[in-house]
Amino acid sequence: MVSPAPARPRTSRRTSAGIAPVTRSAPASHRPASDDPGLTGRYRLDPTTTSWWWSAEMYALLGLPDGTHPCTEVLLQCQHREDRARTLAALDRAVTAGRPFALETRVLRRDGPLRVLVLLGRPRSGDDGAVAAVEGLCVDITSGRLAHDEDVVTALQTEVSQLRTAMASRATIEQAKGILMLLTSCSEQVAFELLAHMSSHTHRKVREVAQSIADSASGHAPLPADLRAILRDACPPTPRMH
């Protein structure tokens, strides 16, 4: 892999995707809005002359002013630093090995927030079989990506909430099991089976039964009558000694 070409023009035969600036620039008229959803730009890389051509939409996607010289270095500078090596490698393989590519990249524009783009490239062979050009598209998918990210965040928040509820329920059930073990002198397994029995016979969730037992033991609320009746059967009063 090679680094981007310097700013001065080159006339040597290409050996990689490093391209020097050219004097051609995007037309100033009819410049598209840079925040249009689904905006698609076009580009062409000529390995023989080491030059780029960008459409007006390409300039808008990268947030570059009209008159900026298109080159590899400028393209990479617009991208997130973690994406630059992948982009340069994809261009290099397209030029030297004729391999098409499609990659997602983030662009840090000067005139707005970060954008998510998909860069597509397709090598074109000349009469001699060598790559004569790499032509492609650059598509803005920021809206779809952000919507997807919001869905992921919502799902994670729901999962965290459910985990917190489950942890709280588990703590309450463990507390109720301890209370039943003290009252009935039973094992932990029997205490849980008693909770399940009370749940099935009163049409309450195990967590709700456990909460009622814990609230009653702490004096926060009386034990419901149906639960008290089942518990009375499981824990009959000890006969008095005469």
Q: What's the confidence (pLDDT) of residue 83? A: 94
Backbone phi, psi, residue 7, to 5°: -70, -25
Residue 129: left if φ>0, alpha if ψ -120 to 50, beta else—which one? left
CA distance 111 to 30: 18
Q: What's the confidence (pLDDT) of residue 89? A: 95
Give yes or no for residue 173 having a pLDDT over 70. Answer: yes
Give 50's DSSP letter. T
Give yes or no for residue 11 having a pLDDT over 60. Answer: no
**CATH topology for 1-140?**
Beta-Lactamase (3.30.450)
Q: What's the confidence (pLDDT) of residue 169? A: 79
When comparing pLDDT for 183 and 106, which is higher? Answer: 106
Give exposure, 57-80, as e/b (b: 16+ Cβ within 10 Å): bbbbbbbbeeeebbbbbbbbebbe
For residue 105, the number of C-alpha atoms closer than 13 Å in the C-beta half-sphere is 29
Q: What's the confidence (pLDDT) of residue 151? A: 59
Alpha-carbon distance values, 136 to 60, 116, 142, 227 (Å):
16, 17, 19, 72
The side-by-side arrangement of strands in the sheet containing 40-46 is 51-54, 40-46, 131-140, 115-125, 101-107
Give the mean pLDDT of the chain: 79
Give yes or no for residue 6 having a pLDDT over 60. Answer: no
| Residue 55, token pair as written in the block | 């459409």
pLDDT tens per residue across span 198-240: 999 899 888 899 999 999 888 888 989 998 888 887 765 554 4
pTM of the entire predicted model: 0.50
Q: What's the confidence (pLDDT) of residue 56? A: 93
* Coil, strand or helix at 136: strand
pLDDT tens per residue across span 38-72: 689 999 999 988 899 999 999 999 999 888 999 99
- What are the extents of the domains in the chain? 1-140, 147-234
Give yes or no for residue 181 having a pLDDT over 70. Answer: yes
Q: Given pLDDT bands bounded at 50, 70 and 90, which one contains residue 78? A: very high
